[in-house]
Amino acid sequence: MPYLICHAATLKDSCDWDLYNEDYGDFDMDNLRPIIKGQSTTEDLKNFYKKAFVSDRDHIEDFPDVFANGGFPGLVSKIIKDKLEELEPGVHVFLPVEVMSRKKEVVTYYFIYTENKISSVVYDQTEFRMGIGYAAAEESGFTPDLTFHDDKFCTLKKDVCEKNHLWRSPDNENKFNFFCSDAFGEFFIENDMTGWSLKYCSVENVLPDNSKGMFSTKTECLNAVSKNGLEYGRVPEHLRTYQICWAAYRSFGCSLESIPEHLRTPEICKIAMADDGKALKYVPEASRNNEVYLEAVNNNGDALMFIPADERSPKLCLAAVTDDGLVLKHVPDQLRTEEICFAAVTSAGSALEYVPEQHKTAEVCKAAVKSFYAAIQYVPDSLKTPEIYEITQESHKSLSKSIEWMFNKKSFAQVLSKLGKKKDT
């Protein structure tokens, strides 16, 4: 049976902890939110917190296997990381974090970054604080009552549980719930691991009932798909309006992967892209078109990597780098025009690293260092003028921390010297 992942049930298996590092300073939820939501860029992951501090308590004898947190799975030990990678290689990203306390040695744990967002709860067979069914789930913040009471029940979709080992609820739920497979859950329990409390969930094979025939009116369609997205298969082509498509998509829990492939029509997929561009990887070939692609990259520039190279048009590339400049590395070489490069460095200065040398003009380089001062390391020596350094310094002044603190108390002149050329005085 699969499991709902909850906080440790006993005090001795839990403790307070905070993330921090030299760049971000104290914990800041704004820095963490894109990673929790599975919507981060490569730069976000690169700059993730490198350290965590555990508040010492008398009841802590050994570090638990998991440092849990209510909004995300927390930090896991190497043995858990290795098991998840064995069960589903390449699905999650594990970000190393040095965990320390005043009494313990430094130990490396791993923050789990996952984009595995799946609607797996069978609402009409799950108890919530406000009752049973989707309406009760929505009113209860989508958290199954089993989280707090062991005598409650939670039912998950069988096909989801058979194909995944660790997943979380979709973005439309205001509190993320994490679930795991029976294979991983049994491993956790059999090895007496601590930090999480795993609670049994039942499974149900959820299939559409095709014996009822097609709906005949718009009202029938809307009422049906609002309650069960699987009923979308009974909606005639001429009645598949935006309103009905949106209602069906919402009913599935805003996770394109959870929708049966034969129901992932271009209309549904376009709506899904506006909600989560990186879900483009779940769009069937038959439903892929330029409108779907454009909606995806407008929502999340990283979606460009899921578009075949020969279909990455200048319009799509421009939209993608405007959303996230670092996506320039996924733009085909022949499409890296000065216009697209300028848009990229304006969005993310460090994208200058991927700009062809012939397009590293004075204007492009100025825009890059104005966006992010450290982009000066990618500026050609011939363009490192006093004006460029002035813009770099002004760019840095907009940051909340001083240059001395950001660079381990080195002076600005030392930093510039290390990056290339000392500023003329």
Q: How many helices (H) and strands (E) does the chain have?
A: 16, 14
pLDDT given at position 344? 95
CA distance 251 to 138: 11
Look-up: residue for tokens 């200065």? 349
* Per-residue pLDDT at 292: 95
- Going from the C-alpha of 172 to that of each of 138, 281, 379, the distances in angstroms are 10, 19, 42
AA identity, residue 71: G
Q: What is the pLDDT of residue 223?
A: 86
pLDDT at 404: 43
Distance CA 95, CA 90 (A): 13
For residues 193 and 8, the answer to whether their CB atoms sit within 8 Å is: no
Report how far residue 353's alpha carbon sits from residue 372's, in angstroms, rounded to the nearest whole number: 12
Burial class (CB within 10 angstroms; exposed 0-12, middle 13-18, buried 19+) of 231: buried
CB atoms within 10 A of CB 183: 15
CA geometry: angle at 271 spanning 265 and 277, to 5°? 105
Q: Which DSSP string do the residues of 81-120 spell out, in sequence order?
A: HHHHHHHSTTSEEEEEEEEE-SSS--EEEEEEEE--B---
Report pTM. Answer: 0.50
Cα–Cα distances in angstroms (integers) from residue 70 to residues 5, 74, 183, 237, 305, in the given order: 10, 8, 23, 43, 32
- How far from 125 is each of 122, 168, 206, 411, CA to CA, in Å? 6, 19, 11, 62
Domain ranges of the chain: 10-114, 123-204, 210-307, 314-419
Distance of alpha carbon 180 from alpha carbon 76, whole angstroms:
14
Distance (Å, whole) CA 31 – CA 249:
29
Digit-by-digit pLDDT tens for the chain (425 residues) are 799 988 765 444 455 555 555 544 455 556 666 666 666 667 667 777 777 777 655 445 577 888 876 556 678 899 999 999 999 998 888 888 888 765 656 788 898 888 788 888 888 788 888 888 777 888 888 888 888 887 788 999 888 888 899 988 875 544 678 899 999 999 999 998 888 888 889 888 655 544 467 888 888 888 888 877 777 778 887 888 878 887 877 776 556 776 667 778 888 888 889 888 888 988 999 999 999 999 999 999 999 999 999 999 999 999 999 999 999 999 999 999 999 999 999 999 999 999 999 999 999 999 999 888 888 999 999 998 889 888 888 877 655 343 444 444 444 445 455 554 444 43
Q: Which secondary structure element, helix H or strand E, spans residue 182, and what is its range?
A: helix 182-190
